[in-house]
Copies of this chain bind each other. A is one copy, B any other.
Amino acid sequence: MTVQHFGRQSLQFLRQPILLSYASVVGKKEAAGPLADEFDLVSRDTSFGQKSWERAESHMQKLCYDLALKKAHLTMEELDGVFTGDLLNQCVGSSFSLRDQNVPTFGLYGACSTMAEGLLLGAMAVSGGFCRRVMAMTSSHFASSERQYRFPLGYGGQRTPTAQWTVTGAGAVILGGEGRGLRLTHGTIGTIVDGGIKDANNMGAAMAPAAVATLDAHFRDLNLQPGDYDMIVTGDLGKLGYELVLELMGRKGYDLSHNYADCGMLIYDLKKQDVHCGGSGCGCSAVTLCGHLLRQMKQGKWKSLLFCGTGALLSPLSVQQGLSIPAVCHAVSIKREEER
């Protein structure tokens, strides 16, 4: 067996998993943003017809995996593994969406980095021959997140300038070993980085050091430069975190000014949608990837994408106890197959 590990944190897949299909489901605020036309399914009813916000989130996942399976002409029985997690306590969004599906399932907790973490682990499973086809999936919901991490919505709490808006959305990608399409070529496993930020309303600043650490490791381990990608995106750093990454990477000698964007800034209109620093949540990078980025790649806009999921690993209790916020960033490289 050839070692596929490079440097401290990175992988190069000798057998590159194919993105067989991907799907995205969002709520009404996301459908009012600049990416509106790129999502597969939009619900004007953010309760998705369910009795609680948590059930709404699970239901959103169900809609999403049904769509992804349908697009790939597959059934759940044809998947050998699902890699999934979400922001809710004990990841109930995912456990409840899959409890009647009889599909082998790995539960993940990577906060808002979950889509990238799932893609990375799913790619290892497929590339190593352990699973023939897998799904990476995640979700977040504005209302279920708000009441868990902050206040009940009815309380009407004021948001600080650095706050972000949790995306209501679910995204899913199906990876397989055979077929044609976009390919997953490299990955970088994040380390947990704690920059000392203690403000739970400033996730961008808390996560930026983790993004910088992973980007730096990715380029160093694999001997690459930012210019080797047509597009580099982080998950949900928002405006402040985005600017911090630009600056901190600049200090390390990397110029990201030409081809770097953040999903939290792409998904909403920051001037018109009252989202302060932008979008956040597991769903933010998941639906921006599955709705916008992969679609653009498929249509030929970019040949290569470095997708960096960013997650803040806090809990309400850790913040109440005065602890700072650890963060993680997992990255995967996605390439378009050349026309022959």
Contact = CB atoms under 8 A, between A and B. Distances in A.
Interface of A: 1-5, 8-9, 11, 15, 51-52, 54-55, 77, 80-81, 85, 88-92, 95-96, 98-111, 117, 120-121, 124-125, 127-132, 148, 177, 189-194, 311, 313-318, 321, 323, 326, 328
A152 to B, nearest CB: 13
Nearest to A311: B107
Given A95-B192, A105-B328, 4 more contacts: A3-B129, A54-B317, A89-B317, A90-B111
A2 B1 CA distance: 11
A4 B129 contact: yes
B318 A96 contact: yes
Contacts of A317: 54, 88-89, 92, 148
A183 to B, nearest CB: 15
Residue from the set A1, A15, A51 with the largest chain B CB neighbour count within 10 Å: A1
- Kindly report how many copies of this chain are found in the complex they form together: 2
A95 B192 CA distance: 7
B128 A130 contact: yes
Contact of A191 (B104, B124, B189, B193): B104
A99 B313 CA distance: 10
Nearest to A3: B129
Contacts of A52: 321
12 contacts: A5-B80, A51-B321, A85-B109, A95-B313, A96-B318, A96-B323, A99-B194, A99-B326, A104-B191, A105-B191, A106-B121, A108-B109
Contact of A129 (B5, B99, B117, B316): B5
A99 B193 contact: yes
A264 to B, nearest CB: 19
A175 to B, nearest CB: 14
A161 B121 CA distance: 40
A320 B2 CA distance: 50
Nearest to A87: B90
A9 B95 contact: no
A311 B99 CA distance: 13
Contacts of A107: 85, 108-111, 117, 311, 313, 328
A192 B99 contact: yes
A54 B105 contact: no
Interface centre among A95, A129, A191, A314 (most CB of B within 10 A): A95
Contacts of A85: 107, 109
Nearest to A117: B106
Contacts of A131: 5
A89 B117 CA distance: 19
B130 A11 contact: yes
Contact of A104 (B109, B190, B194): B190
Q: When A and B form their complex, which 5 residue pairs have the shortest distance between CB atoms, in order from nearest?
A: A128-B128, A104-B189, A90-B315, A95-B313, A99-B326
